[in-house]
Amino acid sequence: MNNVDLSKPTRQSVKGLLIIFIQSIRQGIRMFWALIAVVVLQKNILDNKYLIGIVLLIILALLIVHTILYYLNFYFYVEGGEFILKKGYLHKKILTIPIERIQSVNTKQNLLQQFLDVLTLEIDTAGTVAKELKIHALEKQYADRLNELLSKGKTENFSKDSEETEEFSKKNEQQVMALSPSDLFKIGISQNHIRAGLIIIAFGMQIFNQIQDLFREKADEYSGEFVNFLSGSSLVLIIFLIIFFLLVSILFSLFRTMFKYFDFKLLKSEQALRVQSGLINKRNVLMPYNKIQELNWETGPIKQIFGIYSLVFKQAVSGQNRRNQLVDAPGCLENHLELLKTDLFGEEILNKSPRIFSDKYYLRRLWLIYGWLPSLALTPFFYAEWIFWVAAPVWLILTAIYAILILRKRYFRINNNQVRISKGAIVHKWKQMELYKIQSVKFRQTIFQKRRALASLQLTNAAGSMTIPYINELVAKKIYDYLLFHAETSEKSWM
- Positions that interact with another protein (CB under 8 A): 126, 316-317, 319, 352-354, 414-416, 438-447, 450, 458, 460-465, 475, 477-478, 480-482, 484-485, 487-488, 490, 494-495
Contact 437, 459 (CB under 8 A): no
* Spatial separation of the C-alpha atoms in residues 171 and 144, rounded to whole Å: 13
Q: Which is nearer to another protein, 308 or 316 (CB)?
A: 316
Q: Which is nearer to another protein, 92 or 352 (CB)?
A: 352
Q: Which is nearer to another protein, 26 or 478 (CB)?
A: 478
Q: Least Å distance between CB 292 and another protein?
A: 14
Q: Which is nearer to another protein, 256 or 486 (CB)?
A: 486
Amino acid, res. 171: K
Q: Which is nearer to another protein, 3 or 489 (CB)?
A: 489
* Spatial separation of the C-alpha atoms in residues 103 and 124, rounded to whole Å: 5
* Spatial separation of the C-alpha atoms in residues 352 and 336, rounded to whole Å: 21
Cα dihedral across residues 349, 353, 359, 363: positive or negative: positive
Cβ neighbour number for residue 144 with a 10 Å cutoff = 16
Q: Least Å distance between CB 440 and another protein?
A: 4
Closest to 105 measured CA to CA, from 296, 288, 332: 288
What is the DSSP code string of 269-311? -SSEEEEEE-SSSEEEEEEEGGGEEEEEEEE-HHHHHHTEEEE
Q: Which is nearer to another protein, 5 or 348 (CB)?
A: 348
Angle between helices 49-72 and 16-41 (to 10 degrees): 150
Please report which helix (H) or strand (E) contains residue 329, including its range.
Answer: strand 327-333
Q: Least Å distance between CB 464 and another protein?
A: 7
Q: Which is nearer to another protein, 117 or 348 (CB)?
A: 348
Contact 167, 152 (CB under 8 A): yes
Contact 272, 151 (CB under 8 A): yes
Q: Which is nearer to another protein, 277 or 461 (CB)?
A: 461
Cα dihedral across residues 192, 194, 197, 203: positive or negative: negative
Q: Which is nearer to another protein, 172 or 446 (CB)?
A: 446
What is the DSSP code string of 351-366? GGSPPEEPPHHHHHHH
Ramachandran bin of 123, using left for φ above 0, alpha for ψ from -120 to 50, beta for the remaining angles: beta
C-alpha distances in Å from residue 168, one per residue of 142, 267, 270, 315, 421? 15, 13, 9, 22, 35
Q: Least Å distance between CB 458 and another protein?
A: 7
Q: Least Å distance between CB 291 and another protein?
A: 11
| Distance from chain centroid for Cα 387 | 41
Q: Least Å distance between CB 142 and another protein?
A: 30
Q: Least Å distance between CB 446 and another protein?
A: 5
Q: Least Å distance between CB 355 and another protein?
A: 11
Contact 462, 439 (CB under 8 A): yes
Q: Which is nearer to another protein, 14 or 368 (CB)?
A: 368
Q: Least Å distance between CB 489 and another protein?
A: 8
Q: Least Å distance between CB 81 and another protein?
A: 15
